[in-house]
A and B are shown apart, each in its own frame.
With several copies, the nearest count.
Chain A
């Protein structure tokens, strides 16, 4: 069945709202407006304003309220219109949500999901394009999910909502309209994807590409291109950033002996860095025939102009070139170009 990422998210929300009446959805424009990106379409009508709740534009306040409600036993899904705005509320996410179970030695649970689009959209410039995967994944107490496909969204959002710990669920605006051919099985109500497990989106023997969110499609496109020159890339969709499925990466690297990480966020202290370190510290290190390299967004705030924005985001070319370098294959003349 062909469904969009948006629809997968809406279905997941709908099913979990139906399943457990302690689940509520709150955020800016989630109710009357059906969500700024229409992810909560139709939910207000079905679940009434008691459970689908529009908030004022006060992230610190409503995120704190959501966390408090979770402490008291509700299971809130707190939408940030985009994760950029979660910075206003990040103290509540980290200090109140992530740390309370520990500080209370297990007596206060915080079953909450923070969700919304993360990372770069198109033409929205520096303040609306930040990727928060590495920031949140740095923090113990949180689980951090960054889905790629419709299947991921459906199976993982449901798992997130049922989870008893605070979960950060990083969507991608540019993926909402993307359609995925999704097995019927994945659309069943009891289909869950376990948090903490990656997925091999494509098998290959020559090199491993690890990515999350939209960057997975970049890897798949690169793999197609690489196939033409006889390189079979294995593409791992991380799905969860914390806890990360290092086993899957390690296993793959043991097979392919080469690794390139791919993400849209900033390079330094990002997701790729952690993967490098994990590999360095694992038995996979000895299997590496070349050092791990990263493909990432450029190390700049996001510019608005189209050609600059393009230069600030990773393209297939960056992946292909990095793979070639890693495999020590002569670079095309495009190499090093922006």
Chain B
């Protein structure tokens, strides 16, 4: 079989969009696509597993927010985005960094602070960048206006592109998100606001953080769509539809992707004091993006269990290698502490170190 048709399980919910104008409920998947999505989701999951281990062995410092559970969102969306579409997200950035073109090695290397990392070890877990990927931002909500600004530049330059600005269910209450909605609508910006609703902002459930948990309607005057973020094909279709809508000049959209995070908020949060283990298990058993998709591939005979197993071990091997390489890569030379403060330092500028006798020439 080289192609199969699937119907989405949880229908889209639409806001200010008529059902007939929404995305279609069926999706055709080719074998090639299927294997690609599977590989991508699995790579992210296993990469995060490696990250988790690195954190346990104290090779990763500070915060480390895993994307585990949410893979369907970035993989499904990426399947419908154009290469030059821009993406910006928060600190839970590893999956998106990968989908925007960074290698597992560059990501793990950044996590352990090495010079081969996506940000040469200067950014760490929360601050990764790439081609048309604007981070990796640590302040809740701040990336949303930034994303609208990128969209402003795209529109200014008449590019055929849009910007995806992602934020969490907790971030969705931030005032600047509403300021960005308002301006994006007024200026008709090609911006796709995406709320990755994983049920919790740190230890706070959506019901305790948000007076309305229908995040896809919270753009008020901006049309919105809810999509099952655990169904990579639904996400792909919704994104394709959203892309068409936005590229046709109709202005911004709000998309809510219903998803779940299996790990704690960050590595230091056990993630079990504010939810039950059985809740987590239930999602894993019934909604997991990867197992669900795997079943579909197998039952539709687009792939065999054996093939997928081989892919898995191939990924494992690659990640193992990347991991090993990352750990043996060096950190930047210490002088680089004083570079990149300015891209055009004033001539002869000296940057002060920790005392009056330690200064360095500022280099871009």
Contacts and interface: CB of A to CB of B under 8 A. Distances in A.
B346 A300 contact: no
Contact of A304 (B113, B142, B153, B202): B113
B292 to A, nearest CB: 30
Contacts of A299: 341, 351-353
Contact of A165 (B126, B180, B209, B343): B343
Interface in B79-97: 86, 88
B127 A56 contact: no
Contact of B358 (A64, A66, A121, A318): A318
Interface string B163-205: 0000000110111101110110011000000000000011110
B356 interface: yes
A303 interface: yes
Contact of B122 (A71, A243, A308, A318): A308
Contacts of A301: 341
A8 to B, nearest CB: 22
Interface string A90-106: 01100110001111111
B180 A24 contact: no
Which 9 A-B residue pairs are closest in the complex by CB-CB distance?
A: A68-B149, A64-B145, A61-B179, A123-B61, A123-B62, A304-B124, A305-B113, A305-B121, A196-B346
Find the residue from B113, B157, B182, B210 having the highest chain A CB count within 10 A: B113
B357 A325 contact: yes
Interface of A: 24, 28-29, 32-33, 36, 50, 53-58, 60-74, 84-85, 87-88, 91-92, 95-96, 100-109, 121-128, 140-141, 143, 163-165, 194-196, 243, 267-268, 281, 293-301, 303-308, 310-315, 318-319, 321-322, 325, 335-336, 338
Contacts of B208: 32, 54
B332 interface: yes
B355 A321 contact: yes
A74 B331 contact: no
Given A33-B202, A104-B123, A126-B123, 18 more contacts: A29-B204, A32-B203, A57-B201, A65-B148, A68-B153, A71-B150, A72-B153, A105-B120, A107-B129, A108-B134, A124-B62, A143-B342, A243-B346, A294-B356, A300-B341, A305-B121, A305-B332, A306-B113
B158 to A, nearest CB: 11
8 contacts: A29-B203, A57-B140, A57-B174, A61-B180, A64-B146, A64-B148, A125-B123, A311-B354
Contacts of B356: 281, 293-294, 322, 325
A91 B146 CA distance: 12
A101 B152 contact: no
A163 B342 CA distance: 10
B229 interface: no
Nearest to B343: A164
A123 B171 contact: no
B39 to A, nearest CB: 27
A74 B156 contact: yes
Given A96-B137, A101-B343, A127-B139, A304 B122 contact: yes
A268 to B, nearest CB: 8
Contacts of A268: 352
A36 B202 contact: yes
A299 B337 CA distance: 10
B119 interface: yes
A33 B273 contact: yes
A282 B60 CA distance: 40
B336 interface: yes
B274 A32 contact: yes
Contacts of A65: 145-146, 148-149, 152, 180, 183
B344 interface: yes
Nearest to A295: B355
A69 B153 contact: yes
Contact of B354 (A32, A57, A313): A313
Nearest to B62: A123
A326 to B, nearest CB: 10
B326 to A, nearest CB: 12
B275 to A, nearest CB: 11
Contacts of B182: 56, 58, 61
Nearest to A299: B352
A194 B348 CA distance: 12
Contacts of A311: 334, 337, 353-354
Contacts of B186: 56
Nearest to A292: B356
B76 interface: no
